Structure 1
């Protein structure tokens, strides 16, 4: 998707400032970060769907819709004197440079494990110096994530434990004694769909009960963090 005279990020920021001006768009003027949350989530899912379909022009368009939400929310905070789009880009650029000294400072490494350890050490330093001062809570996984994604992150961080006996039974049933020659990933996907179907038959909302289970679980342990935000 090429344009002879392309608009740039500053042009989008200018458009949003105009829309939020006193003589701008009434709908845009009345929005808040809270009211924009559903749109932010919706646009994120539309980007994911476009990536799955694999059409570059569609992905480009959907990324633009998502970027609009970032600029929109940033402009609201800019009006309040909190931060601007330059602060947002400065923060993420600084973070990426700081967390990749092997690229920007020429620090050597020997393996992927070295890189991971380096990333985790930098994150710990950020916490101790207050570089990243706002935390999400004991699990450091956004509770607004879809239940399955949140469960995967919590389990990978060892912040919540699955039922080991049930997990072993499912492993034996789904993976070790397959009823077909499907790849493991497809068998697991089919098993997840079957669990959702079972919940539906029992009048249970799968997403809701998974969220409740994760919220109620107190089986958190402290472990080194992986590469994240």
Structure 2
């Protein structure tokens, strides 16, 4: 019987990263990177993890989680080189945080529901901010400005809702959405001032996030589905135009609309 090979440990990945960052014998690209240049890749890898989950592609999810882990190792390696902290400190920090924020698991506290745990989690985070000397006592404190804006909107709305500032059901959200769309229409009618349109369209998007929250729909997932649907149908339009012996750009808008309707009809079948 052939023994099952032992999978590499995290130490192997840390060693690979150290060799890649070696100033004399490492990879030139890896050596010249900084926290700022790597940050966009970190965000991209997190979204690719979400995409693999959305597609239920577990083999791809395995690979994408590896890519995301590499980002953590990359940042930790750069921090170690600068004398800030090492990978082990990152692990120790998150272990300490998870134990501290789950006293109902690791200590004698009790929580009755997931909702109660969420409230307790926020209270513990507020205590941690206070212990660090952060003076912001607002119910909105702790929402990172580094998040995508739609995600910041969602977190701000959830925090406001925890202190009762929320609509009781989805009806008023629809009313607010119609109100904001009417205000955008009015701005166009008044001459479409860019600053005013930015403000009013921002209000529409904020309410759309609120609508998704009340519907318990994941905003990012909904938009990914919409993007995928648009891309799928548009590519089918291109294929249909090619079958007819012309490019999509040579079609009139009415002809393109007809192709779009045909692509939609094919999906419904």
Residue 7 of structure 1: CA displacement?
Answer: 1.1
Partner of 1:81: 83
**TM-score with structure 1 setting the length:** 0.65
Tell me how far apart the structure 1 counterparts of residues 113 and 70 of structure 2 sit (CA, whole Å): 38
Partner of 1:185: none
Secondary structure at 1:35 match in 2: helix
Partner of 2:126: 124
Tell me how far apart the structure 1 counterparts of residues 131 and 92 of structure 2 sit (CA, whole Å): 18
Residue 150 of structure 1: CA displacement?
Answer: 2.0
Residue 108 of structure 1: CA displacement?
Answer: 2.8
Partner of 1:91: 93
**Structure 1 residues 172 and 20, CA, compared in 2 at 3 Å: closer, same or farther?**
closer
Partner of 1:67: 69
Residue 134 of structure 1: CA displacement?
Answer: 11
Equivalence map 1:25-36=2 (5 Å):
25-36=27-38
Equivalence map 1:194-213=2 (5 Å):
209=198, 213=202
Residue 123 of structure 1: CA displacement?
Answer: 2.0
Partner of 1:12: 13
Q: Does 1:169 align with 2:171?
A: no
Residue 48 of structure 1: CA displacement?
Answer: 0.7
Partner of 2:157: 155
Residue 71 of structure 1: CA displacement?
Answer: 0.5
Gaps of 5+ in 2: 207-269
Deviation by residue 1:85-133 (Cα, 9 ceiling, x = unmatched)? 0000000000000111111113233344443343233223222322x86
Tell me how far apart the structure 1 counterparts of residues 36 and 116 of structure 2 sit (CA, whole Å): 40
**Structure 1 residues 209 and 18, CA, compared in 2 at 3 Å: closer, same or farther?**
farther
**Structure 1 residues 50 and 118, CA, compared in 2 at 3 Å: closer, same or farther?**
same
Equivalence map 1:188-227=2 (5 Å):
209=198, 213=202
Q: Which has the higher contact order (CA 8 A, sep 6+)?
A: 1
Secondary structure at 1:157 match in 2: helix
How many residues are aligned here?
182
Tell me how far apart the structure 2 counterparts of residues 170 and 125 of structure 1 sit (CA, whole Å): 35
Aligned match for 1:145, one of 130, 144, 147: 147
Which has the higher Rg, Structure 1 or Structure 2?
2
Gaps of 5+ in 1: 174-190, 218-229
Secondary structure at 2:79 match in 1: helix
